[in-house]
Chains A and B, each alone.
Chain A
Amino acid sequence: MMKKYEAMAKLDLPEDERRWIAGLAEKLLEGFAVLNDINLPQAGDAAPPVPPTDALRDDVAVKAFARDDILAAAPERYDGYFQIPKTVV
């Protein structure tokens, strides 16, 4: 069952890690089952406990990071861009 979520998470686990995670996931899901026993008093909302408040800044242009600063952190770059494998053959 976890194989599907392994692919969704963009992982390709070695067998020992896959077994460890599957075992732990099984225990976690057993624990999560307690939620089924909870009957909420009403339909219930899913609002966060601390309501978000607007903290809007003035609508003015500000200098963000320089392109070179951001690219400096990239594993590979080429001609001012992030470099990735060819996607269109």
Chain B
Amino acid sequence: MIYADDSIMRKGFPATAGSKMLENFIAPFTAEVLTRLDEPAERAVLSEFGLSAPGELPSPLLCNDVFGHVRRQAAKQGLCYLRPTYGTVSRYGLIPTACSMDQIGVAAKTPSEAFALLDKIRCGDDCRPPAAPPRRAAVTPPYADVYDSVLHILAYAEISANISRYDGVKFGFRAEGYTDLDSLYTKTRTEGFGLEAKLSAMMGCLVLSREYYEIYYEKALKIRAAVKSALSFDEYDILELPVESHLAVLCGLPSLTVDGVQLAADAGGEAWLRKAVGL
């Protein structure tokens, strides 16, 4: 049995992304990733739009993980979490959270199981098969102290834009007792969103506002670009990172969290990760 987070749509079945806002939503089409599986996936409801820590994870599990909640929970349970290079797995049919970082990954009991599942769902093959054992390094990547803030600023901005579609008009929950269009929007969003979604919507409005755009959002974008351009995989193939590090998510790199460490490779370097764990 393979599980899929409730934000991955399967035609004719509920897809709530863990939110009251979508409690009655029935998916009108099936996510590309699910069409690649040999069997229908079982629904697993984690947390609202992946914004908070999930409970016990089923395994193997397909899910998006922007904030690292799933990665940390997987590590806590002794599972591994494989996050492929950004764009490797289709996001068609994934209810969006933060589009520049959304990426369906795999939580599984072993790296072998995770890579086997990735092989089923990915588009294309590993593009850089390594000839030699990977060189590992535990160096601190550039600007490491600010990844958490950069990730939160960018994610809040994108989440705020993405969840603006939930207004009680086209799909999902609609509050009762509204008097006009504005109160329909406001009552629906106030009653339909949980606290973390409300926080994200408000913080997104803040970092994108005229007062704060340059000092928060634009600066975060520039730091992310600077991190990516300063990051070099010339002297090593695998970067050993703490489980908590957001480097891979920010830069779209593949990473494998296993045995209490997060291994990251250059974009498209899933083959290095396989080699690093003896596969």
Expressed in whole angstroms, the minimum distance between the Cβ of B3 and any Cβ of chain A is 24
Over the window 16-49 of chain B, the binary record of Cβ atoms lying under 8 Å from chain A Cβ atoms (1 yes, 0 no) is 0000000001101100000000000000000000
Number of inter-chain CB pairs below 8 Å:
143
Which residues of chain B come closer than 8 Å to A34, judged between CB atoms?
145-146, 149
Please determine whether B174 and A32 come into contact, CB atoms closer than 8 angstroms: no
Please determine whether A85 and B181 come into contact, CB atoms closer than 8 angstroms: yes
Interface of A is mostly: loop
Whole-angstrom distance between the alpha carbons of A17 and B198 in the complex?
9
Which residues of chain B come closer than 8 Å to A36, judged between CB atoms?
215
Please determine whether B180 and A85 come into contact, CB atoms closer than 8 angstroms: yes
Please determine whether A75 and B224 come into contact, CB atoms closer than 8 angstroms: no
Whole-angstrom distance between the alpha carbons of A5 and B195 in the complex?
15
Expressed in whole angstroms, the minimum distance between the Cβ of A58 and any Cβ of chain B is 17
Which residues of chain A come closer than 8 Å to B275, judged between CB atoms?
none
Given known pairs A11-B201, A12-B186, A31-B148, the reply for A75 and B168 (CB within 8 Å) is yes
Residue with the greatest number of chain B CB neighbours at <10 A, chosen from A11, A31, A87 = A11
Given known pairs A9-B160, A75-B173, the reply for A31 and B168 (CB within 8 Å) is no
Spot the interface stretch: B50-58, B74-82, B128-136, B203-211.
B203-211
Over the window 216-232 of chain B, the binary record of Cβ atoms lying under 8 Å from chain A Cβ atoms (1 yes, 0 no) is 10111111111110000
Contact of B202 among A11, A32, A38, A46 (CB under 8 A): A11
Whole-angstrom distance between the alpha carbons of A8 and B210 in the complex?
13
Please determine whether A35 and B216 come into contact, CB atoms closer than 8 angstroms: yes
Give the total of B residues in contact with A, Cβ under 8 Å: 65
Contact of B28 among A20, A38, A69 (CB under 8 A): A69
Which residues of chain A come closer than 8 Å to B215, judged between CB atoms?
35-36
Expressed in whole angstroms, the minimum distance between the Cβ of A70 and any Cβ of chain B is 7
Which residues of chain B come closer than 8 Å to A17, judged between CB atoms?
195, 198
Please determine whether A46 and B222 come into contact, CB atoms closer than 8 angstroms: yes
B positions within 8 Å CB-CB of A = 25-26, 28-29, 85-87, 100, 143, 145-146, 148-150, 152-153, 160, 167-174, 178-182, 184-187, 189-190, 193, 195, 198-199, 201-207, 209, 215-216, 218-228, 250-252, 267
If A13-B198, A32-B149, A49-B227 are given as contacts, then 15 extra A-B residue pairs at C-beta distance below 8 Å, sorted by A number, are A5-B203, A10-B186, A12-B186, A31-B148, A35-B149, A40-B223, A44-B226, A46-B221, A49-B225, A49-B228, A50-B251, A74-B171, A75-B171, A75-B173, A75-B174
The 26 sampled A-B contact pairs (Cβ below 8 Å) are A5-B203, A5-B205, A8-B205, A9-B198, A10-B201, A11-B198, A11-B201, A21-B195, A24-B199, A25-B206, A28-B152, A28-B203, A31-B148, A35-B219, A40-B222, A46-B218, A46-B225, A49-B252, A65-B28, A73-B28, A75-B169, A75-B171, A75-B172, A85-B179, A85-B181, A86-B180
Closest A-B pairs by Cβ, 4 of them? A75-B174, A46-B221, A44-B222, A9-B201
